[in-house]
Every structure is written in C-alpha cells, then in structure tokens.
Structure 1
Amino acid sequence: MSGDTEVYFYHLESRTLEQVLPALLERSLERGWRAAVQAASLERVEALNTLLWTYREDSFLPHGADADGAPAAQPVYLTDEDSNPNDADVRFLVDGASLDDLGGYARVVHIFDGHDPDAVAMAREAWASAKDQGLSVSYWQQDEGGRWHQKA
C-alpha cells in the first residue's frame, strides 16, 4: 500500500457526474496523468463511453473501454473491473464502484451523489478506510458556479 496515494472525495450536489467527469478527466490529462474510470456496471461504462464522445462539440477526450481493446494505449480507460491495464496514475470511482488496493495510484477519486443516502454512506466508509490506511484524504464540494472547494 502506497502512503503517497492521495484520496479525494468529490461530493456532487448541484451538478451530475456527467457534467463534472469530463472536466476532471481533462485536468488529469493536462497534468500528464493517465486515468481510469471505474463504474459499477458494464452498462454504465458504455454510457460513460458515449458521454465522452459527445459531451462537447469543440473537444476530443481520448479514451476507450474494455470493448475497444488495446487498453494500454488508452490515456483514459473506462472499466467495471478493478484492474489497471492502462497504467493509470489517477483512478476515478463512480456509481459506488470500489477498489481494494489504492496503492500504485498518485490519486484515487471517489465521486458521489450527495442526494443519495447510500452513496454518502459508502463515501463515509471509504473515507474511514483510507484514513485507517494512513492515506492523505481530502473532501471537495462544488459551488453553484461549478468550482470545487476543499472542505476537509
């Protein structure tokens, strides 16, 4: 387990995952990081794959999913499994997806819906687990303008 891994919690209140994920992935790529997005189901992976092709007309976010093959060539890899075939630096966990081994990533990001009591409870459990492992954790909330603010 790597003590260097940062664990971020992004609490969605006024915006949806579909509205925030592309920008977070763009920022990751701008840092020179490879990213993996882990969803809870293959159907959700397919929906996110479609989203990343269509979220904005003036931009292209290079990505692929299990069905596209060549995962090692994908700067952003979408999956419903906990493997890391594209050697990602940052791992996004969405829709309640979980990851047992957080080591090997510079950052692991939990994105959860603040209006879903089950999602909030899962995020609290993941926070406690990361703290117990001695990892650096931080909690972020979005304001009405879409800017993230660190709250803890």
Structure 2
Amino acid sequence: MSDAKPEIWFYHLERSTLDQVLPGLLEKTLQRGWRALVRGAAAHRLDDIDARLWTYRDESFLPHGRASDAHTGRQPILLSESGDNLNGAQALFIIDESDLGTVEAYERCFIIFDGRNEQALQHARERWRTLKAADANLAYWRQTDEGRWEKAA
C-alpha cells in the first residue's frame, strides 16, 4: 500500500437493502484482486450475510469465511466483529454502525448505511463530520432512480 490516505466511501441505501448491495460490491472488490473484510456489530447479522453470500445467485457464490473459523488468512472475504485484518484485506466494509477503527492498512473503506433508518442516518452524518474534520479522503455515493450508484460528494 502507498502512503496515501485510504478512500472512505459512504454508501447511502435508499432503494436497496444491504443484502442486495453487498454481494455486488464484494464481487467488484475481488475483481480488482483485493481481499475484503466485512465488519459487523452483531454475530447474528454476520450469520445472515454468511448465508446470503453462499446463495445470492443460483449459478455462483462468493468465497468467504468467518473470523472465528480456521485459515482466516486464506479467505478472500472475511466476516468479523473485530477490527483485526486477519486476511490482509485491502477493502474494509463497515455495516450496522460498526466501529471504523484504524483504516491505514486499507486502500478503501466502505461505510454502508440504511438511509431509511433515522438512527443509522444520524450516525452516518456524525461519522462523516468527524472524518471530514480529520481531513479524510471521503466520497458519498447514492442510488439513482434507476438503481445505479452515482458519486454525489
């Protein structure tokens, strides 16, 4: 990794759910040749994501594992409640208001929040203000009416 600050991208869910958006973002991450760490605040939420990544398409799945499993360093996608980058990921995905933690080890961080949930929206706004004040490299993405993502800030 270079000495540049990681990109921190906020993804504002308004038309789609996390289950609909996360697999596509993870696919694009793997296509870049990167590994991913998905950090969630609750084990039951990661259980749901775990099941979804195995079944989100009839013809394929996304290879992944849990931080509690063996061979975490081999996993292209790792699901975890902790801040440890056990698989050497270049991309960090933050869901459900999980702690961002230290980001220097990553190329890009994705903060995905549900804009239909007022608490999640307020948390994301506060996180944006805090990171902006720290001169982080930020971008804000939102969905168009057609469902495509466009950079809005």
TM-score calculated relative to the size of structure 2: 0.94
Contact 1:3 1:135 in 2 (8 A): no
Partner of 2:52: 51
> How far is the alpha carbon of 1:128 from its aligned partner?
1.7
Deviations 1:7-26 (A, max 9, x none): 00000001000000000000
Once residues 117 and 143 of structure 1 are traced to their aligned partners in structure 2, the CA distance between those partners, rounded to angstroms, is 20
| Alignment RMSD | 1.2
Partner of 1:104: 105
Partner of 1:22: 23
Once residues 6 and 146 of structure 2 are traced to their aligned partners in structure 1, the CA distance between those partners, rounded to angstroms, is 29
How do 1:3-152 residues align onto structure 2 when only pairs under 5 Å count?
3-152=4-153
Matched residue SS, 2:139: strand
Contact 1:3 1:134 in 2 (8 A): no
Higher mean alpha-carbon deviation, 124-133 vs 87-96, is at 124-133
Higher mean alpha-carbon deviation, 97-106 vs 125-134, is at 125-134
> How far is the alpha carbon of 1:3 from its aligned partner?
4.5
Matched residue SS, 1:21: helix
Once residues 109 and 94 of structure 1 are traced to their aligned partners in structure 2, the CA distance between those partners, rounded to angstroms, is 9
In structure 2, the gaps of 5 or more residues are: none
Q: What is the number of residues matched between the two proteins? A: 151
Once residues 144 and 55 of structure 1 are traced to their aligned partners in structure 2, the CA distance between those partners, rounded to angstroms, is 23
Matched residue SS, 2:48: helix
Matched residue SS, 2:85: coil
Once residues 133 and 104 of structure 2 are traced to their aligned partners in structure 1, the CA distance between those partners, rounded to angstroms, is 14
**Percentage of matched positions with identical amino acids:** 42
Contact 1:91 1:105 in 2 (8 A): yes
Contact 2:67 2:86 in 1 (8 A): no
> How far is the alpha carbon of 1:125 from its aligned partner?
1.6
Matched residue SS, 2:135: coil
